[in-house]
C-alpha cells in the first residue's frame, strides 16, 4: 500500500498551472489567489487541462469540483477517475457574477445571456427576472471575449469583473448570483495516483474517493455504515454512471477525519465491503468558516 501524498497546499513559485477556460476566468483568479507568482496556462476543456498535467506540460492543475449553488461539476469528477492524478489541496473562492454588455450597448434590452452552464445555473433567478434566454457557452471568460469581438445587440454574458476589464466590456449589473454566499470549491491536482491515509498522516484531514458497490439491495447502506460507525463526517456523496455497466453507478465521497487511524480503519473495512475503492486524494480541508483559499 502506498503512502499518502505529501501535503501540497500551494504551488511553489514559478510553476505552470493548468486551468479550463480563457484568461479572465474564475479558475485563473483562483490560481492567482493560491500563488500570485504562478503561471496560469489556459486549456479549452477540462480533459485537455488534465491531459496536459499527465503529459508533463504543467506541474499542477486547478479545477472546480463543486459550487454551493450549481452543485457538482461532473466533467471534473470524470477526469479525476479517468487519469492517474490525485488531489493535493482544496481551495474556496467566493464567486461574484457580473452581467457584461458590449461598449455602447448599455441601454439595449438584453434578450440572451451567454455563459458557462454552471454560471447560468448560479444566476437562474436573476435571468428569470430579466426575462432573458440563457445560452450555454464553454466558459465565462470565453463568452466575454466572443462578445467583445462580435458586439451582438441584445446579447450579454455572465462573467467576472476581471473578464470585463480584460475584454473591454461594460458591467451592466453586479452580484447577480442567486445567493450572496455563492462559493466554488476548487482542488489542486498533481500527477500520479493517490495513496491511502496512514498512521503518519495529518491528525485531521479530508479524503476524496470513489466506490463501486455490489448491484444488490443494501450495498450502499453497508458502505456508508463504515463511516457512520466511526463518526466520520461525509461532506459529499453523488453518483456517476459506469460506462461499461448499464445503469450501475460509481459513488463519489468526501469525508473528514479527526484521527488518521480512524480513516485508515474505515477504508480497510470499506475495501472488504464493496467491489472497488479508489482514493482520489488525502489533504487538509478548508475550515468551514473560511470563505477564501486554503
Question: Among residues 88, 140, 184, 188, which one is catalytic?
Answer: 184
What is the rounded distance in angstroms from the CA atom of residue 118 to the CA atom of residue 116? 5
Cα–Cα distance list, 59 to 39, 115, 167, 246, 283 (Å): 10, 28, 28, 36, 18
Active site residue 184: yes
What's phi and psi for 48, nearest 5 deg? -70, -35
What is the rounded distance in angstroms from the CA atom of residue 197 to the CA atom of residue 256? 12
Q: Which residues make Cβ contacts (< 8 Å) with residue 199, sequence separation at least 6? A: 260, 261, 264
What is the rounded distance in angstroms from the CA atom of residue 286 to the CA atom of residue 294? 5
What is the rounded distance in angstroms from the CA atom of residue 181 to the CA atom of residue 206? 23
Question: Among residues 26, 88, 140, 186, which one is catalytic?
Answer: 186
**Cβ atoms < 10 Å from Cβ of 89:** 25
Q: How far is CA 12 from the centre of its chain?
A: 21
The DSSP bridge partners found for residue 112 are 133, 155
- Residues serving a catalytic function are 184, 186
Amino acid at each position: 500500500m502506498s503512502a499518502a501524498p505529501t501535503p501540497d497546499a500551494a504551488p511553489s513559485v514559478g510553476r505552470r498551472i493548468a486551468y479550463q477556460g480563457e484568461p479572465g476566468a474564475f479558475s485563473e483568479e483562483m490560481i492567482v489567489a493560491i500563488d500570485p507568482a504562478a503561471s496560469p496556462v489556459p486549456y479549452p476543456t477540462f480533459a485537455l487541462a488534465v491531459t496536459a498535467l499527465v503529459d508533463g506540460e504543467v506541474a499542477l492543475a486547478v479545477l472546480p469540483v463543486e459550487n454551493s449553488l450549481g452543485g457538482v461539476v461532473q466533467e471534473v469528477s470524470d477526469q479525476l477517475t479517468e487519469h492517474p492524478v490525485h488531489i493535493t489541496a482544496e481551495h474556496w473562492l467566493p464567486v461574484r457574477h457580473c452581467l457584461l454588455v458590449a461598449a455602447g450597448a448599455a441601454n439595449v434590452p438584453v434578450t440572451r445571456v451567454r455563459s458557462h452552464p454552471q454560471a447560468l445555473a448560479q444566476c437562474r433567478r436573476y435571468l428569470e427576472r430579466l426575462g432573458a434566454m440563457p445560452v450555454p457557452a464553454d466558459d465565462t471568460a470565453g463568452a466575454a471575449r466572443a462578445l467583445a469581438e462580435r458586439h451582438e445587440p441584445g446579447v450579454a454574458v455572465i462573467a467576472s469583473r476581471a473578464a470585463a476589464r480584460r475584454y473591454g466590456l461594460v458591467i451592466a449589473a453586479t452580484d447577480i448570483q442567486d445567493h450572496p454566499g455563492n462559493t466554488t470549491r476548487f482542488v489542486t491536482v498533481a500527477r500520479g495516483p493517490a495513496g491511502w491515509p496512514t498512521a503518519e498522516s495529518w491528525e485531521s484531514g479530508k479524503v476524496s474517493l470513489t466506490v463501486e458497490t455490489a448491484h444488490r439491495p443494501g450495498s450502499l447502506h453497508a458502505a456508508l455504515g463504515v463511516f457512520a460507525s466511526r463518526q466520520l463526517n461525509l461532506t459529499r456523496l453523488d453518483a456517476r454512471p459506469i460506462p461499461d455497466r448499464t445503469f450501475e453507478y460509481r459513488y463519489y465521497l468526501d469525508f473528514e477525519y479527526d484521527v488518521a487511524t480512524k480513516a485508515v480503519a474505515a477504508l480497510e473495512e470499506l475495501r472488504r465491503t464493496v467491489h472497488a475503492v479508489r482514493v482520489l486524494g488525502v489533504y487538509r480541508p478548508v475550515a468551514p468558516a473560511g470563505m477564501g483559499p486554503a
